[in-house]
Chain A
């Protein structure tokens, strides 16, 4: 069994396998919307490889982090503006 990691997505407790991306934690939490576009449209991840910047979320208070590129760490606080 892979080691599990606990973190928070929009205040909600989520567990994922070690090595999972923050995007995976969002998906596990049922969150498809990572951010609002400049006109307020809902947006989710697109490219999956760190190029498109659609999956930006706030991690531990730092805005504009790419959730597809960053691995989950214990007790991380992830916020989306969906």
Chain B
């Protein structure tokens, strides 16, 4: 290979793979290095594989809505094994308070020109008859979709490779320097721009980034086709302890295209250990059974954990590091790595090529991290 690499991406999860594809398509020379032996093996594979519009903040909604549109455009050309399916999300309101939240949520979605339909009790049961009786209603967001994320990451990397990108696996990067990175074996790779896309591990290479691993547990069942048709999320999710530092669970379930049900979710800080915490799994499943009683007698095949990359304000870090224009961060997406991967990649390629971005990039700037660090100090 002649000349210098324009962009070296550290991390081969879905965010890194998307960044590689966007940069290579834009005509930049791209290299990607990943510590594991294949693409999408960490949080990408551990998560639920959802592409959802989330309205935790205006910036979150802008990013996820933008990225969702990019996914919709890409969906037609995704290989079949990505199992892309536009199943929509049903936000479930258990009581009148949650119905009010559903209405506020609908308004926010409509302001961003997103389809969202308020459901009365009767509408909810018409869509999902297996839900427990006595729920108040909900909100249907038909544009949300799911996919099998490791394959989507592989498809993105394959696209990058078609445009000349190189990927190196089994290479751990131990240090970042201006113009090059240093691998574990001491070898160095030169590049004009280095992109850090190592998710929950980002702080290992940029200690100033306040990214903390936030463990989640998931359970997958045997195949029970047509039992549930939409992704189901409790509106209590919003007011659950997911917003605090405490361990928390909330009902979130997906009907996978295989006919299996994927059941979440839990959030825990301070567990570096990938071992399964049986007690939080039990809490999570109890909550799931409370919403979908039929789960009680179904068979679970497997329980696993994954590490989300959580930031202080719930928004990812996407942009150049202050004072280090050669270093671009694309990490800290927490539960929205799959959703936001394409928008993240586009913001990166826009930045490198000097194109005007479609959404304002400032809310995602890593400069927040340095400000927050100063404030905390």
Q: Is A1 an interface residue (CB 8 A)?
A: no
User: In the complex, which residues of chain B have a beta carbon less than 8 angstroms from the beta carbon of A63?
Assistant: 222, 224
Question: How many angstroms from the CA of A62 to the CA of B222 in the assembled complex?
Answer: 12
Contact yes or no, A38 B222, CB < 8 A: no
Contact yes or no, A38 B297, CB < 8 A: no
Q: Which bracket fits the contact residues of B? A: under 10
Q: Is B100 an interface residue (CB 8 A)?
A: no
Contact yes or no, B258 A64, CB < 8 A: no
A38, A62, A63 — most chain B CB neighbours (10 Å): A63
Given contacts A63-B222, A63-B224, contact A38 B299 (CB under 8 A): no
**Cross-chain pair count, CB within 8 angstroms:** 8
User: In the complex, which residues of chain A have a beta carbon less than 8 angstroms from the beta carbon of B258?
Assistant: 38
Give min CB distance, B220 to chain A, whole Å: 14
Report B252-297 residues with CB < 8 Å from chain A CB: 258, 297
Give min CB distance, B360 to chain A, whole Å: 45
Question: How many angstroms from the CA of A2 to the CA of B223 in the assembled complex?
Answer: 38
User: In the complex, which residues of chain B have a beta carbon less than 8 angstroms from the beta carbon of A62?
Assistant: 297
Contact yes or no, A64 B297, CB < 8 A: no
User: In the complex, which residues of chain A have a beta carbon less than 8 angstroms from the beta carbon of B223?
Assistant: 38, 64
B222's closest neighbor in chain A, by CB? A64
Contact with B along A44-65 (1 / 0, CB 8 A): 0000000000000000001110
Give min CB distance, B314 to chain A, whole Å: 38
Give min CB distance, A39 to chain B, whole Å: 12
Question: How many angstroms from the CA of A38 to the CA of B225 in the assembled complex?
Answer: 12
User: In the complex, which residues of chain A have a beta carbon less than 8 angstroms from the beta carbon of B224?
Assistant: 63
Give min CB distance, A50 to chain B, whole Å: 13
User: In the complex, which residues of chain B have a beta carbon less than 8 angstroms from the beta carbon of A38?
Assistant: 223, 258
Question: How many angstroms from the CA of A38 to the CA of B83 in the assembled complex?
Answer: 14
Report B222-240 residues with CB < 8 Å from chain A CB: 222-224
Report A15-38 residues with CB < 8 Å from chain B CB: 38
8 residue pairs A–B, Cβ–Cβ below 8 Å: A38-B223, A38-B258, A62-B297, A63-B222, A63-B224, A64-B222, A64-B223, A64-B299
Task: Name B residues whose Cβ lies closer than 8 Å to a Cβ of A.
Answer: 222-224, 258, 297, 299
Q: A64-B222, A64-B299 are in contact. List 6 more A-B contacts (CB 8 A).
A: A38-B223, A38-B258, A62-B297, A63-B222, A63-B224, A64-B223
Kindly list the 8 A-B residue pairs having the minimum CB-CB distance in the complex, ordered from nearest: A64-B222, A64-B299, A63-B224, A38-B258, A62-B297, A63-B222, A64-B223, A38-B223
